[in-house]
Structure 1
Amino acid sequence: MRQTFSMAWRQRIAPVRAFLRRLRVWRRALMASTWRRLMQPERIVAVTGSAGKTTTSRLVSQILASQAPTHASIGHNTASAIAKRIYRARPRHRNWVVEVSGHSPGAINPVAKFITHDAAIVTTVGLDHFKNFRSREAVAAEKSNLVRTLPAHGLAVLNADDPLVAAMAAQTKARVVSYGRAATADIRLVDCAGRFPDPLRLSIDDGAQIVELQSQLVGERWATAILAAFALGRGLGIPAEQCARAIAEAEAVAGRDSVHSYVNGSVILADIYKAPVWSLASGFETVRTAQASRKTIVIGTLSDYGGSARKKYEDAARQALAVADRVIFTGPHSARIRRMIPQYGERLMPFEDLADVANCLQSTAQKDELIYLKGSSKDKMEQLVPDFRAMVSS
């Protein structure tokens, strides 16, 4: 009886709580807009995309900081979080870089209104936030708002290799700079190399010259983020050599394919903030091409998929086993792969408790082993990485 009353009460006050949340966001947006007018930055770059926007934002801020003091709002990308962090900008910050999430329909427009950006980057369109959008086309429609709201004197930097992103060029009067492997791209990837543990090296044709770029990032999937940042810099007239130097100095964002020394000479590659099913293939490709004495993949909570959860976890297990020597599942869904154990034996291990995963890794890790962590923030996989806290706070 008490539980029924509690549920009924929560349902009755839900509209009030929703209104108060909207009011709080509106108030923060109004104050952020006022702060933006007071600070009068020369340039505001907004970055969105289903993958790579945090790393792209980091690289862009490195490039802009090589010219003038730059304020970067990275990682906290919802309207409320962005508005809250704008107050850290100061008059000396001539450039702002803002990472923007399009996690639900209507999420981007409020941010665009109070930051009034003059440059926008779109990385890729995937099926993050599947429950809110159900299709890549719907995701693209939301992310295109960041491009559509650009002023005529602005700059749109778009991925030529993603048809849904490339199509956004028709939705803006701003100047467009495209990037990618496509022959039509303004900033074109000529060559890309780097098998773990070697960092990624790119040869880029910017239309005037071939630029050799050495990064600190691991895995070819980060070529998109590097190209996007380089294209933004060149689109703003920053010399190619200066863009390349700034990117070379940028370390990986902690938890987004960051590299960490582990026990017994092994190495952890941590990708632990989100794990949409559609993104698994690119991470597993990094493992497949890696040079390592043994390859271990640890998988946590998967997200953004339709259909049977058991089937998705079993499919993920098969994909991982195709590129790794052993695969470990952890968290509340780890039991979904138990019926596969007779087929794969000790190559496939489920541990619901993260402490059991830690014990397994610490007792069995070997020299030059690659341990790839793939999970969501709710899995707390940073607990497996000895130096993670130091990296985040540095």
Structure 2
Amino acid sequence: MIRLDNLLYGVQPRATRQAVVVPPPWDGRLIGPVVTDSREVTPGSLFVALAGERTDGHRFLPDVVARGAAAALVSPVTLAALAPDLAAAARPWRLIEPTESALLANVPPEACLLIAVDDPLQALQRAAVYHRRMFTPTVIGITGSVGKTSTKEVVAAVVSQRLRTLKSQRSFNSDVTLPATLLGLTADHQVAVLEMGMWAAGEIRFLAALARPHIGIVTNVGPSHLERLGSIEAIANAKAELPESLPAEGWCILNADDPRVAAMATRTPARVLTYGYAPHADVRVTDVISYGLYGIELTVVYQGAQHRLRTPLIGKHHAYTALAAIAAGLVLGLDWEAIAAGLRAPGEQLRLRVVQSQTGVTIIDDTYNAAPLSTIAALNVLAETPGRRIAVLGEMLELGAATEEGHRQVGAAAAQTADWLVAVGRQAQTMAEAALAAGMPPDRVAICPDNESAIDLLNQMIRSGDCLLIKGSRGVQMETIVAALQA
């Protein structure tokens, strides 16, 4: 939430900002949360009219006004071109320049304010920077090729045991959604846990300039986004923008088991704390026991003392998630009781979830996204489950030159962890061939060209007691398979 006067001041270009004095009854008005999808508008929201690949948010302003938005950031030129029917909106509205706050005295308090700006996205980012500078939370930035959202959730669960914490919702990690999260800061927040993603070099540095993190966590470097950045080295350089942006009095928390991440210790002015299995890791795990779908137990050594911890996180690979959260808790001065409590309650937004179908089938739903590393980790989870283990694997996107090799790695891993492989989509043949070459019997490998054919096949083959892993990149929408099987 942001006060209207701060919003009107913050959206202005910094070099030409003019003072804002909001008259009654608008003074003190709080606006938020920030949304960019008109379908998510609720009374009091701030809508940001963005131009997308397929449409433009200005087209939906009549609906935004009708749904009760308190304000919207708009381009007057685009507004005139794309929303001519706004005059017939079901609720009063007023187009206003940020410097025209005095005119609000004549605007009914129930009206939706359309705030005219040069560029809605840049105005949102300027407002976020201004709002961020009004508060003094410890900001934790998290990046990496895989595991950002899970790490963010568990870090927030740990630090919130002792400190009032704001966290990114869902996977809000872009130049649009991170500023939206920053506008949720209040004076009550002691910590903000923010996920930072990237599509190109320079983006994490830009996000860090917006958020000004004190603590940075880098989980790993892998081939995700290889198609855009061209090489693993370029991806590592992009991720290193977070450590490079930290202050000298801050902390850089690095995965000691990933050589490219560990090397970032030389690229940050901040103090460094490492985690992992490596003997030289500062926060070191020495033993992990998996209880299948019921979580893991791990022994952690820090400064010579051992700590036995339990978490409902599924799969041994989540030892890294837990370690990153432990490290964050330690640099913030949390005691081990609080850390253990946080690990037992890792939040509700973890992407891998276990659901039961009406026919008695257990579904491991990991459909949000996929890369070779995360898919092989999910297959290892499947290997620890009872019943017939069926891996339903879709295409992994944005791997560039590593596309074929990545799908071969996954196919080979499926042969070692699953009883059946149902390969779906354009790379199904590659995964199937690798599984066969690794020893999976031909009658246990199926190729489906699309999700619909996979649903048809699975409805014929599955039976009560089976366990299915369903995973693929976000763009191939494997969640439709989960929904069909649940029904």
TM (norm. structure 2) is 0.69
Which residue of 193, 196, 207 maps to 2:292?
196
Whether contact under 8 Å (1:108, 1:142) holds in the other structure is yes
Q: Which residue of structure 2 lines up, in the alignment, with residue 168 of structure 1?
A: 264
Q: Which residue of structure 1 lines up, in the alignment, with residue 145 of structure 2?
A: 50
Q: Which residue of structure 2 lines up, in the alignment, with residue 331 of structure 1?
A: 425
Whether contact under 8 Å (2:424, 2:449) holds in the other structure is yes
> 1:13-43, CA deviations, whole angstroms, 9 ceiling, x for partnerless residues?
xxxxxxx9x95543322111011122x1421
**Aligned CA distance change for structure 1 residues 336 and 234 (closer, same or farther; 3 Å):** closer
User: 2:229 matched to 1:136?
Assistant: no
Equivalent residue of 2:303, what SS?
A: coil
> 1:252-301, CA deviations, whole angstroms, 9 ceiling, x for partnerless residues?
635x322112243321112212222354333323333x132211001112
Q: Which residue of structure 2 lines up, in the alignment, with residue 220 of structure 1?
A: 316
Whether contact under 8 Å (2:285, 2:301) holds in the other structure is yes
Q: Which amino acid aligns with 2:308?
A: E
Whether contact under 8 Å (1:277, 1:304) holds in the other structure is no
Query: How far off its partner does 1:310 sit?
Result: 6.3
**What number of residue pairs does the alignment pair up?**
367
Q: Which residue of structure 2 lines up, in the alignment, with residue 297 of structure 1?
A: 391
Query: How far off its partner does 1:356 sit?
Result: 3.5
Of 306-315 and 127-136, the range deviating more from structure 2: 306-315
User: 2:365 matched to 1:270?
Assistant: yes
Higher helix residue share: 1
Equivalent residue of 1:329, what SS?
A: strand
> 1:192-229, CA deviations, whole angstroms, 9 ceiling, x for partnerless residues?
11052341111111215211111111111111111001
Q: Which residue of structure 1 lines up, in the alignment, with residue 28 of structure 2?
A: none
Whether contact under 8 Å (1:155, 1:177) holds in the other structure is yes
Whether contact under 8 Å (2:277, 2:286) holds in the other structure is yes
Equivalent residue of 2:359, what SS?
A: helix
Q: Which amino acid aligns with 2:371?
A: P
Which residue of 202, 206, 209 maps to 1:106?
202
Q: Which residue of structure 2 lines up, in the alignment, with residue 30 of structure 1?
A: 126
Q: Which amino acid aligns with 1:270?
A: D
Q: Which residue of structure 1 lines up, in the alignment, with residue 301 of structure 2?
A: 205
Of 114-123 and 71-80, the range deviating more from structure 2: 71-80
Sequence identity percentage: 26
| Distance in 2 separating the partners of 1:55 and 1:388 | 25
> 1:177-206, CA deviations, whole angstroms, 9 ceiling, x for partnerless residues?
111111111111011110523411111112
Q: Which residue of structure 1 lines up, in the alignment, with residue 277 of structure 2?
A: 181
Q: Which amino acid aligns with 1:166?
A: A
| Distance in 2 separating the partners of 1:308 and 1:160 | 24
Q: Which residue of structure 2 lines up, in the alignment, with residue 320 of structure 1?
A: 414
Of 342-351 and 245-254, the range deviating more from structure 2: 342-351
Query: How far off its partner does 1:353 sit?
Result: 3.9
Q: Which residue of structure 2 lines up, in the alignment, with residue 392 of structure 1?
A: none
Which residue of 59, 64, 81 maps to 2:154?
59
Whether contact under 8 Å (2:223, 2:402) holds in the other structure is no
> 1:296-351, CA deviations, whole angstroms, 9 ceiling, x for partnerless residues?
00111222334596676455434323321111122355466688999954412223
**Aligned CA distance change for structure 1 residues 261 and 92 (closer, same or farther; 3 Å):** same
Which residue of 440, 449, 457 maps to 1:352?
449
Q: Which amino acid aligns with 1:258?
A: R
Which residue of 449, 458, 480 maps to 1:361?
458
Q: Which amino acid aligns with 1:379?
A: V
Q: Which amino acid aligns with 2:363?
A: I
Cα RMSD after superposing both structures: 2.9
Whether contact under 8 Å (1:287, 1:372) holds in the other structure is yes
**Aligned CA distance change for structure 1 residues 362 and 141 (closer, same or farther; 3 Å):** same
Residue correspondence of structure 1 range 70-89 to structure 2 within 5 A = 70-74=165-169, 75-89=171-185
> 1:122-168, CA deviations, whole angstroms, 9 ceiling, x for partnerless residues?
11111110122232222111111111111111111111111111111
Q: Which of these two proteins has the greater Rg computed from alpha carbons?
A: 2
| Distance in 2 separating the partners of 1:156 and 1:253 | 25
Equivalent residue of 1:197, what SS?
A: helix
**Aligned CA distance change for structure 1 residues 308 and 87 (closer, same or farther; 3 Å):** closer
Query: How far off its partner does 1:115 sit?
Result: 0.6
**Aligned CA distance change for structure 1 residues 259 and 124 (closer, same or farther; 3 Å):** same
Q: Which amino acid aligns with 2:480?
A: Q
Equivalent residue of 1:304, what SS?
A: coil
TM (norm. structure 1) is 0.84
Query: How far off its partner does 1:358 sit?
Result: 3.0
Residue correspondence of structure 1 range 152-163 to structure 2 within 5 A = 152-163=248-259
Of 378-387 and 309-318, the range deviating more from structure 2: 309-318
Of 77-86 and 292-301, the range deviating more from structure 2: 77-86
Query: How far off its partner does 1:72 sit?
Result: 0.7
User: 2:164 matched to 1:69?
Assistant: yes
User: Structure 2, unaligned stretches of length 5 or more?
Assistant: 1-52, 54-77, 79-117
**Aligned CA distance change for structure 1 residues 225 and 388 (closer, same or farther; 3 Å):** farther
| Distance in 1 separating the partners of 2:395 and 2:241 | 30
Query: How far off its partner does 1:374 sit?
Result: 1.4
Q: Which residue of structure 2 lines up, in the alignment, with residue 117 of structure 1?
A: 213
Which residue of 94, 97, 101 maps to 2:190?
94
| Distance in 1 separating the partners of 2:298 and 2:410 | 30
Whether contact under 8 Å (2:366, 2:470) holds in the other structure is yes
**Aligned CA distance change for structure 1 residues 369 and 148 (closer, same or farther; 3 Å):** same
Whether contact under 8 Å (1:55, 1:225) holds in the other structure is yes
**Aligned CA distance change for structure 1 residues 355 and 216 (closer, same or farther; 3 Å):** same
Q: Which residue of structure 2 lines up, in the alignment, with residue 127 of structure 1?
A: 223
Equivalent residue of 2:417, what SS?
A: coil
Query: How far off its partner does 1:367 sit?
Result: 3.7
Query: How far off its partner does 1:65 sit?
Result: 1.4
Q: Which residue of structure 1 lines up, in the alignment, with residue 355 of structure 2?
A: 260
| Distance in 1 separating the partners of 2:414 and 2:423 | 11
